[in-house]
Amino acid sequence: MKASTTLYWVINILFLIGLFGAGSLVISEFTTGDGCPKFGAVPACLIILICFILPFISHLLKKWNLIYFLFTGIAALIALVASIMQFIGNAECPKTDSGIPMCYISLLIFTSLIIFKKIQLNSSNKK
């Protein structure tokens, strides 16, 4: 199997993990009002969910790479700021059942999505 094909499926799996995690936070936010921090009146988890949905559509359609990188980049930046604030104690990210702050996981996923997509595009352009 070619590297670009393998990366395509790895990216799909990362998106599904992210969509499930962010989606469950959004559901929690709308049912309890206490699922995630807010930017003004907008829940951060809703922004992150949108930042998973739009690049995932771009990835599946194999076009609009600008949208892919724009939204994964925005989400990675949000996750980086949230992770730093979590680490220094100025904010509290939602946590997994095992106690891991989800902003750390989000940062890892979005950074991986950016790197893997760049590698995938470079390997598919070498044909």
Give the whole-angstrom CA distance, residue 96 versus residue 99.
5
* Band (16; pLDDT cuts 50, 70, 90): very high
Quote the pTM value.
0.87
How confident is the model over 21-72, as pLDDT tens digits? 898 889 888 888 777 888 788 888 899 999 999 999 999 998 899 999 999 9
DSSP alpha helix (H) spans, the chain: 3-32, 44-61, 65-88, 102-125
